Structure 1
Amino acid sequence: MKNLLASILILLVVGCKKEKRVIEEIDFETEYMFNSEIEDKILSDTLTDPRFTGFKYQMGASEYASKGDYQNALSTWDLATGTRDTAYTISEIDSINEKYKKVNAVNLIVKQSKEYKLLIINEAHHNSSHRVFTKSLLKKLYKNGYSNIGFEDLDNGSNKDSLLNKRKYPLQKSGFYMTDPQFGDLVRSALEIGFNVFSYEQTSDVNGTEREIEQARNIQKVIEERPNEKFIIHCGYAHALEGNYESWGKAMAGRLTEFTGIDPLTIYQVLYTEKSKPEFNHPLLKALKLTEAIALIDKEGNPMEYVRGESWSDIAILHPNTVFENGRPNWLIKNGNKMIKLNLKNIEMDYPIMVLAYKKGEDIKTAIPMDILEVENKTEFINLVLRQGEYEIVVRNSNGRAQKFQLNTE
């Protein structure tokens, strides 16, 4: 019901605290899609060439990740890449345990980072937990002297968000994958801590090899402008590989060393991370039964690398299986976040609905929400995961009706 400005009173429950809040009907459009819309988009893709059919699932996984739907993102990605159930033998597991010791991944990275000027960490673009892990490093790396962070996903060139460092929060148009609330808050957190945030993606229409070169040249330029400062680069997949990489000659990380002479600390998150079902996980994950993100070190204290042919990253990160608490991934409840129980029993609109939580003071039409939940059927409570602070909550259904109210989590 658009253009209706009448307000109604509603009783909401936040934790155990009851407060009366004012809800208003608003005009609100969003690019975030309901699950049914994502499913329809995947089904409408009629490509039959087996070389390309996986692409629609990759894009679908990214759409699910953009709205914080972690489980559907994993499941859809697995449709794109395929799965298999493999395991190590008991003797292989014994050999791993004899050779390596598990250590906390954050602590190891922070310790190792002290000796470096440049740290490069990657992500899988459908996996929000990788963004949360990078965010968990920021304050400690800042204390170690790192003051600049570059994001592959930030648009560059004519679409560059030139006001980002001044505004202090990213917009949905700042980058394609950045619409994920966890990616948005990774960038927001970096800005709040005091990092200079910059883009480095290629701006010309180039092939894979040339893209790696252009990315590295763009980073090199920023480094040369700030010669006495330290840098973090958050990239995707193989861009974090050093050495010779078969597909591109060298990946971005290898090109950076070639162009600058700087040896980076490279961190690889992608391989040893959960699939949609535990049986599809890498056999090393199944063997180790993790409860936190870890790295493996040998008896000399050297981290286990990720190696692909003649390329490598210095530290391979192994992530545990997600535990869901009240329907939300347990890794969300970190970095100052807490579970907020919200009563929806008096929301009178057709379901499904999408609940979007925006940080107070940010533009709800353009900003990236702090959290998003789709609710399929009318229910009494949902669980948002938010920092302490003030928020504007927008509730919208698939018919376009939207309402807004204020929420204080302190």
Structure 2
Amino acid sequence: MKKTALLTLLIFFGGKIFCQTVNVYNLGLNYIKQNQYLKAIDTVKALRKLYYDAHRSNPGNLSTYSYDQAINLFSSFVGEDYPYKFEGKDSIVRNHKLNFTPAIPYIIELAKKHKVVMINENHYIPKHRILTYNLLQEFYDVGYRYLALEALIPETNIILKRDKAAVYANEPNMGNLIREAQRLGFHLVSYESEDTTPDNPNFPAHRRNMRELLEARNLYQILVKDPEAKILVHAGVSHIWEQATTSKGMYMAEYFKVISGIDPLTINQSVLDDDEFTSRIGSSAGSDFNGAPVVVLDSLNVPTVSAEARKGDYDITVAWPKVRMKLGRNDYMLQKAGIKISQILVKNSDVGNLIQIFEEDDLDGIPVDQFIVKKGIRNYGVAIAHGRYQIQSVSDTGHVQWRKPLKID
């Protein structure tokens, strides 16, 4: 996690005041390790309010950004779109004619001509992982055998237990991405830098550059060991940028290009303005993409970039249509390649609870799906592979109110 939210709390006890510094990410993750996903969110929200109330009289020192990041992250783990949105630029692209084409076939055709493909995600947006999940089989079919994931770190590797999993692997779609890659036979690779260089205020860009450089080197080592390797990389946000955005250094993809001599196909899903393309997709003449992602093309049907980017920053922009509700879920949660939608009936007493579905013998693992029960909705869709599972309803305090076997045919 690049940013850390530290909050000094004034705790009143026995008539005395104590100061305590809290890392909200670690606090939330500790709750998640205990399967208290809702408590992680509620606790950080409460701390955010304490911080806001303590600083609102001095707005010049008020920034809830790191708290918002933590809440967005933990909310994504339970299938919720992020509640705190950050302001982006007004879109320049809206003034130009755009075309759209389904993302998966377009990407696969280009992937056939490349040796390395890099796809990014916004860590708060689960649907970005669903794109890579839905590409896995087709990438395998055209010869890709390595999947490099930022979500893996060396000491945790591919363990999908809550008490040991890497941070982003706590989100069900990332867990499912890892499971599916293993099932297909991909070699999973952790490429994260293990550099421990401390921050240096005299050279503020040094640590970031070391991370980007060492990530690129770790990816290149795959090719050193296996020169015929074809690699799919799933990375965070700007790591796939192919040219520096400032004079302070380069990103992973550009370092990789320099080290290896290979120009990767880079695919960006993360834009500052979420609405930059969604309204245009919905009004695109004769197109109904049924909630599936699309590649953004200019009037000449050439891939174009988002408003905040420059030509050459990356190769392809993938955008998603406006989210619609389907069977109580965001529609993208039900778009899993080769998996039919099943329906789960909940009780009125489950309102506000977290419904979790685990592999049958893996209650300590990462759920294959989970969602919060909303008032007035009793029927929910899930897209999980056929098999035997355990389903349970968990309160906001982490209490399991009921659990039963679930069979998906």
Taking structure 2 as the reference length, what is the TM-score of the superposition? 0.77
Could you tell me which runs of 5 or more consecutive residues in structure 2 were left unpaired when the two chains were aligned. Answer: 1-32, 198-206
SS across alignment from 2:38: coil
In structure 2, what residue type is equivalent to 1:197?
Answer: L
Q: CA deviation at 1:325?
A: 0.6
**Equivalent residues, number:** 351
Equivalence for 2:45: 39
Q: How big is each residue's C-alpha offset from its partner over 1:208-233, in whole Å with a ceiling of 9 and x where there is no partner?
A: 11110111111111221121110011
Percent identity, please.
23
Candidates 12, 15, 35, aligned match of 1:30: 35
Is the Cα contact below 8 Å between 2:90 and 2:273 reproduced in 1?
no
CA distance 1:234–1:135, change in 2 (3 Å): same
CA distance in 1, matches of 2:399, 2:278: 44
SS across alignment from 2:107: helix
Q: CA deviation at 1:338?
A: 3.7
Work out whether 1:321 is the aligned partner of 2:319: no
Is the Cα contact below 8 Å between 2:216 and 2:252 reproduced in 1?
yes
Q: CA deviation at 1:311?
A: 5.2
Q: How does 1:11-410 map to 2 (within 5 A)?
A: 29-34=34-39, 36-45=42-51, 48=55, 52-70=63-81, 73=82, 75-76=83-84, 78=85, 81-82=86-87, 92-93=95-96, 96-97=97-98, 101-156=99-154, 159-161=155-157, 164=158, 170-172=160-162, 173-206=164-197, 207-246=207-246, 248-271=248-271, 274=274, 281-282=275-276, 284-289=277-282, 291=289, 292-297=292-297, 302-305=302-305, 308-309=309-310, 312-334=313-335, 335-345=337-347, 352-361=352-361, 363-365=362-364, 367-375=365-373, 380-402=378-400, 403-410=402-409
SS across alignment from 2:250: coil
Q: CA deviation at 1:82?
A: 2.5
Could you tell me which runs of 5 or more consecutive residues in structure 1 were left unpaired when the two chains were aligned. Answer: 1-27, 275-280
CA distance in 2, matches of 1:50, 1:153: 33
Q: How big is each residue's C-alpha offset from its partner over 1:142-185, in whole Å with a ceiling of 9 and x where there is no partner?
A: 111110011112122xx232xx3xxxx73333221221111111
CA distance in 1, matches of 2:310, 2:172: 35
CA distance in 1, matches of 2:92, 2:216: 38
SS across alignment from 1:121: strand
Q: CA deviation at 1:323?
A: 1.3
CA distance in 2, matches of 1:310, 1:87: 13
Q: How big is each residue's C-alpha offset from its partner over 1:103-150, in whole Å with a ceiling of 9 and x where there is no partner?
A: 221111100011111000101110011110111111111111110011
CA distance 1:380–1:262, change in 2 (3 Å): closer
Q: How big is each residue's C-alpha offset from its partner over 1:55-107, in whole Å with a ceiling of 9 and x where there is no partner?
A: 1101110010012222xx1x32x1xx226776877xx34xx15xxx4222111
In structure 2, what residue type is equivalent to 1:214?
Answer: L
CA distance in 2, matches of 1:211, 1:374: 36
CA distance 1:44–1:215, change in 2 (3 Å): farther
Is the Cα contact below 8 Å between 1:272 and 1:319 reproduced in 2?
no
CA distance in 2, matches of 1:318, 1:118: 21
